């Protein structure tokens, strides 16, 4: 994973030399994402800059990637896990120039452009990506983002009307007054001037899932295949292990495949056969204790790190600058993840697997206990998946990539989603089959025997809770002491876009504004919508949630305190 920056729509009178220099300066603001190498392409119609984090084919694979005839130029941030299968399925020969997994995008585009079948090829990619492709012959460019939005991407227009795209907002916000997130699962084609959704699935409609059952074996095998795909790597890697269900399942499955080299179809021993796991928390935190238990059972080389409240507080400005949001839940959880990424980087690890997405797919948030029926449950999982790019995916990607560590998320693998989301939501509910069960029971039952019972059946903790309750309580106390009543009373006039609803939110918004001033930057954050307790669905399910202003899992009264058996 890396960073990209593109400027398109150059005109004959443009000073290309000055624009190249500007593009390099802009790209430097996101070089933390790709510290291994920088590449630049410039011609009369486009400028592409790439900052590389070398994960696959580290000796080659430098970007922008160019076709043998020089007509196609591609800058990608991401990984294409099924690139070998796609390469073998090509109907037309393509002269690959590197061993990069991303170069298959050029091959697929060329094949589609020459055959006239220009719609379906993007949907064949199984991976996480954001890319800009320049077709010099046709003077055409494509901008696209992966289906869920695991990889960040922003776009906007500069004063001259040129289209600018970048992996992080900080790279183009100073020159683009209309900067905005590029929507996941979409492609922009300059040939038509249209932004189109390329990723859609029947399971988004509850009716398509009605009465569909997925066996524990099928669910387990689909997830095992997702983890196996995502172990594609030529550098040292590890797993994030909080000791909760999701990260522990990722670690357990990864441990079963870690000794073989995925890029060679498991035909040879892995270059780094010992699986390393990483956890962080305040001294005595629930996650650190649970992670140690899981690591012992799985046999990983485990690294449990502690941080102090003061260290977390000191990091807040840098965290907000990197993650580019003022959302309360996201900042609470991003800070320990940011500190952990720095430790991981110091150990020479460049890629980690993480557990994001499971709660959205299986209704793991505690307020899902209140869902009245399968349709409501299913529709809320769709809403949560659609919002992930603003919250958990943003947190995991930007917190880790702040230190050049790539996070991968097997629960959001598109093939796994097709299995897990096709299931009738009635099987996911806590009241399924007339029994009262713990959240995500269908997932836990699929992996019986994989983990210690204390981990497999551990109840949901939000990451910011699990690192130690003193973290959240300390943040709220610090904000109360820092933000005066008088200042907070004027919050709506100072911040008319998504005005902060608490002193903690005001503190984060104040820091965000220092790095990202202006209404366009503020509008990139959907204010308040990450608070599970105030989700429109949650309020409809239980009116008591309307009064829960705190996004901590502990705030879900009557649910967190009383785990179901």
Q: Which residues are annotated as a binding site?
A: 101, 240, 280, 354-355
Output the known binding site for L-glutamine: 101
Asked whether 23 and 149 are in contact (CB, 8 A), the reply is: no
Check 2, 176, 521, 533 and give the catalytic one: 2
∠ at Cα 355 (527, 255), nearest 5°?
Answer: 165
3-state DSSP: the chain helix, strand, coil percent, rounded to 5? Answer: 45, 15, 40
Judge contact between 466 and 242, C-beta under 8 A.
yes
| Count of beta carbons in the 10 Å neighbourhood of residue 484 | 10
3-state secondary structure of 42: strand
Burial of 20 (C-beta count, 10 Å sphere; 0-12/13-18/19+): middle
Q: Is 2 a catalytic residue?
A: yes
CA 86/CA 72 separation, integer angstroms: 18
DSSP label of 50? E
Identify the DSSP state of 260. Answer: B
349: left (phi > 0), else alpha (psi -120 to 50), else beta? beta
- Residues with Cβ within 8 Å of 61's Cβ and at least 6 positions away in sequence, in order, are 52, 54, 98, 99, 100, 102, 103
Paired sense of beta strands 46-52 and 37-42, if any: antiparallel
How many angstroms separate the CA atoms of 458 and 452, rounded?
10
Query: Which H or E run includes 281?
Result: strand 276-281
In what side-by-side order are the strands of the sheet with 351-353? 301-306, 276-281, 237-240, 351-353, 406-408
SS3 303: strand
b or e along 111-125 (b: 16 or more beta carbons within 10 Å of the residue's beta carbon)? bbbeeeeeeebbeeb
Query: Do the beta carbons of residue 19 and residue 41 sit within 8 Å?
Result: no
Question: Residue 226: which of 418, 440, 452 has the closest Cα?
Answer: 418
- Residues 107 and 80: their CA atoms lie apart, in Å, by 13
Enumerate the active-site residues: 2
């Amino acid at each position: 994973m890396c960073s990209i920056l593109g400027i398109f729509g150059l005109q004959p009178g443009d000073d290309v030399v000055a624009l190249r220099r500007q593009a390099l300066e802009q790209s430097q603001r996101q070089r933390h994402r790709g510290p291994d190498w920088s590449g630049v392409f410039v011609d009369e119609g486009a400028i592409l800059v790439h900052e590389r984090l070398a994960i696959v084919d580290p000796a080659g694979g430098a970007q922008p990637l160019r076709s043998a005839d020089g007509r196609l130029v591609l800058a990608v941030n991401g990984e294409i896990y099924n690139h070998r299968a796609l390469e073998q399925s090509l109907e037309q020969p393509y002269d690959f120039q590197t061993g990069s997994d991303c170069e298959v995008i050029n091959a697929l585009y060329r094949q589609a452009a020459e055959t006239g079948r220009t719609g379906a090829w993007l949907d064949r990619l199984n991976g996480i990506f954001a890319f800009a492709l320049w077709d010099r012959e046709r003077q055409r460019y494509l901008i696209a983002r992966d289906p869920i939005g695991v990889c960040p991407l922003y776009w906007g227009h500069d004063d001259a009307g040129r289209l600018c795209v970048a992996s992080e907002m900080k790279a183009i916000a100073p020159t683009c007054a209309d900067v905005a997130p590029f929507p996941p699962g979409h492609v922009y084609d300059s040939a038509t001037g249209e932004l189109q959704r390329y990723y859609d699935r029947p399971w988004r409609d509850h009716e398509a899932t009605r009465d569909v059952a997925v066996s524990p074996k099928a669910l387990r095998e689909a997830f095992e295949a997702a983890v196996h795909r995502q172990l594609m790597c030529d550098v040292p890697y590890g797993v994030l292990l909080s000791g909760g269900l999701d990260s522990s399942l990722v670690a357990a499955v990864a441990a079963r495949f870690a000794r073989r080299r995925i890029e060679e179809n498991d035909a040879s021993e892995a270059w780094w056969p010992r699986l390393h796991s990483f956890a962080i928390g305040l001294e005595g935190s629930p996650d650190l204790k649970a992670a140690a238990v899981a690591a012992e059972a799985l046999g990983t080389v485990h690294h449990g790190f502690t941080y102090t409240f003061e260290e977390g507080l000191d990091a807040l400005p840098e965290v907000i600058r990197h993650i580019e949001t003022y959302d309360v839940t996201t900042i609470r959880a991003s800070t320990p993840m940011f500190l952990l990424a720095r430790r991981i980087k110091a150990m020479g690890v460049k890629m980690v697997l993480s557990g994001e997405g499971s709660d959205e797919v299986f209704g793991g948030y505690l307020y899902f206990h209140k869902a009245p029926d399968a349709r409501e449950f299913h529709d809320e999982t769709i809403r949560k998946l659609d919002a992930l790019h603003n919250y958990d995916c943003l947190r995991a990607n930007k917190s880790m990539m702040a230190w050049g560590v790539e996070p991968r998320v097997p629960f959001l693998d598109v093939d796994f989603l097709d299995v897990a989301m096709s299931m009738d939501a009635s099987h996911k509910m806590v009241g399924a089959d007339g029994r009262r069960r713990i959240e995500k029971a269908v997932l836990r039952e699929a992996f019986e025997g994989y983990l210690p019972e204390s981990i497999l059946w551990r109840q949901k903790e939000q990451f910011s809770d699990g690192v130690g309750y003193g973290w959240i309580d300390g943040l709220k106390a610090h904000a109360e002491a820092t933000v005066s009543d008088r200042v907070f009373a004027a919050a709506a006039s100072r911040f008319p876009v998504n005005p902060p609803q608490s002193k903690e939110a005001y503190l984060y918004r104040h820091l965000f504004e220092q790095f990202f001033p202006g209404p366009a930057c503020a509008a990139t954050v959907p204010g308040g919508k990450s608070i599970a307790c105030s989700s429109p669905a949650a309020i409809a399910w239980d009116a008591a949630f309307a009064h829960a202003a705190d996004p901590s899992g502990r705030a879900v009264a009557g649910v967190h305190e009383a785990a179901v058996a």
